[in-house]
Structure 1
Amino acid sequence: MDFPPHLGSMPMHAITEIHGEPGLLERFRLEVQRFDDEARARLTAALDLAAELHRDDRRVREPYLNHLLRVAIRLMHHYQVRDVDVVVAGLLHDAVEDHPAELAGDTDGDRTDAALAVLAARFGPRVARLVAAVTNPVYDPRRDRNEQYREHLAVSLEREPWARVIKVSDFTDNGVGVIHTVGSKVVSSARKYRPLVPLFRELVGRPDTPLSAEVKRHIFGQLDLAEERFSAILDVPAPN
């Protein structure tokens, strides 16, 4: 497939709409050229594992892998992340939450712990720790799920500055990208993610969040855009 020469500067959702998964894979390839051979090999191995685990998963109108690619590309391009562990964890951030059995295989113990141990063996303990920080726990069915989600993020991201970076890329894809969602999920996603805007604004602004001032300004702008889109969806005036 032929891609335009400006693919490297196109918005990722535009790539998704026009070129689909092949376009995002090519954009990922362009981004990883900035890394050395060893780093590229690790990033390719992480992408291969993500593609295998999520091969049958769908995200509304698209393959789930598209979301993982956008999260990783955003880390490399917009956030200027050159820490390979962080980008690997970005590609695999949903692996343990969504596919612990496939990762862990036959085990008599906790599948989440076993799946994280597999990631630690393949990509290193730091990658596993970052993935663990953005992996949702089992929720109490007696309590509001979205409230528990917010509580979990506040605690897990408090102690892992790089996990904040991964999660804000994930949030941006979900929040700013809410306009690319269809059906009832548009409103449910807006309700889930809107209360997180102040949390991410505070976390990103912390001195120990390892991003440049320029990148933080970019993220704040994306959070503003997400809030505008949530408001457009949820703050519908009552009919006269």
Structure 2
Amino acid sequence: MSFPPYLASMPMHAITEIHGEPGLRERFRLEIAAFDPAARARLTAALDLAAELHRDDRRVREPYLNHLLRVAIRLMHHYRVRDVDVIVAGVLHDAVEDHPAELAGPTGAATGGDLTAAALATLAARFGPRVAHLVAAVTNPAYDPDRDRNTQYREHVAASLEREPWARVVKVSDFTDNGVGVIHTVGPKVYSSATKYRPLVPVLRELVARPDTPLAPEVKEHIFGQLDLAEERFSAILDQPANAT
């Protein structure tokens, strides 16, 4: 499959709409070309594992892997992240939450113990303890069925990222794809996503603005613009005009 020479500068959702998963994979390949061979091998292995784990998963109109590719590409291209552990964590940020049994493998299933812990141990063995630690920070815990899920989600995000500056970076790339990308969603998920994510905008804005969040000032300004855009889109979905009947 051939791609245009300007693929490296195309907006990611444009790549998604025109070229689909193959285009995003090619963009990922172009981004990791700037890394040394060992780093490229780790990043490629992470993508291979994500593709295997999420092979049957979809996000409404597209393969779930597209989301993971966009999160990783955003980290490299827009956030200028060169820390390979952080990018690997971006690629695998949903692996433990969505597929703990597959990731833990026969050993985790045989023990009958904590599948999340076993899955994180597998990530640590394959990609190092720091990657597992970052993924753990952005993995949602089991929810209390007697409390509102969205409230618990927001509480978890705020608490887990409080002392994890690099996990904030992974989470904000994930949030941007979900929030700014809400207009690319269809059906009931549009409203449910806006309801879930809108209250997180000020939380993430404050976390990104902190001095210990390891991003350049101009990158933070870019993120603030994306958060503003997400808020505009959430408002368009959720806020009804005063004269609405």
TM-score by shorter chain over 0.5: yes
Instruction: Give the match's secondary structure for 2:81.
Output: coil
- Deviations along 1:66-121, whole A, 9 cap, x unmatched? 00000000000000000000000000000000000001122321000000000000
For 2:244 and 2:55, the matched residues in 1 are separated by 44
Measured after TM superposition, the shift of residue 239 of structure 1 is 2.3
Aligned residue in 2 for 1:94: 94
Task: Return the alpha-carbon distance in structure 1 between the equivalents of residues 139 and 18 of structure 2.
Answer: 31
Query: What's the counterpart of residue 126 of structure 1?
Result: 130
- Supply the AA of the counterpart residue of 1:209: T
Residue of structure 2 equivalent to 1:195: 199
Q: What residue identity is the alignment partner of 1:45?
A: A
Separation of aligned partners in 1, 2:184 and 2:101 = 30
TM-score by length of 2: 0.97
- Whether 1:26 aligns to 2:30 is no
State the partner residue of 1:79.
79
The one-letter amino acid paired with 2:79 is Y
The residue correspondences of 1:1-240 to structure 2 (distance < 5 A) are 1-105=1-105, 106=109, 107-237=111-241, 238-240=243-245
Post-superposition CA distance 1:159-199 (Å, at most 9, x none): 11000000000000000000000001101100000000000
Question: What secondary structure, in the 3-state scheme, does the structure 1 residue paired with 2:186 have?
Answer: coil
Structure 2 CA distance, aligned partners of 1:181 and 1:55?
20
Amino acid at match of 2:60: V
Which deviations, in whole Å up to 9, do the C-alpha atoms of 1:8-52 show, x marking residues without a partner? 000000000000000000000000001000000000000000000
SS of residue matched to 1:47 = helix
Question: C-alpha distance in 2, partners of 1:239/1:159?
Answer: 44
Q: Given residue 142 of structure 1, which amino acid in structure 2 is its aligned partner?
A: D
Separation in 1, partners of 2:160, 2:79: 21
Letter of the 1:21 counterpart: E
Partners of 1:2 and 1:127 in 2: CA distance: 33
For residue 236 of structure 1, report the CA deviation from its aligned partner. 1.9
Supply the distance in 1 between the matched residues of 2:240 and 2:180 (Cα, whole angstroms): 18
Alignment length, in residue pairs?
240
User: C-alpha separation between the residues in 2 aligned to 1:57 and 1:67?
Assistant: 11
Judge which range, 220-229 or 98-107, deviates more.
Answer: 98-107
Amino acid at match of 1:53: L
State the secondary structure of the residue aligned to 1:5. coil
Q: Which amino acid aligns with 1:208?
A: D
TM-score by length of 1: 0.99
Amino acid in the other structure paired with 1:22? P
Which structure 2 segments of 5+ residues have no match?
none
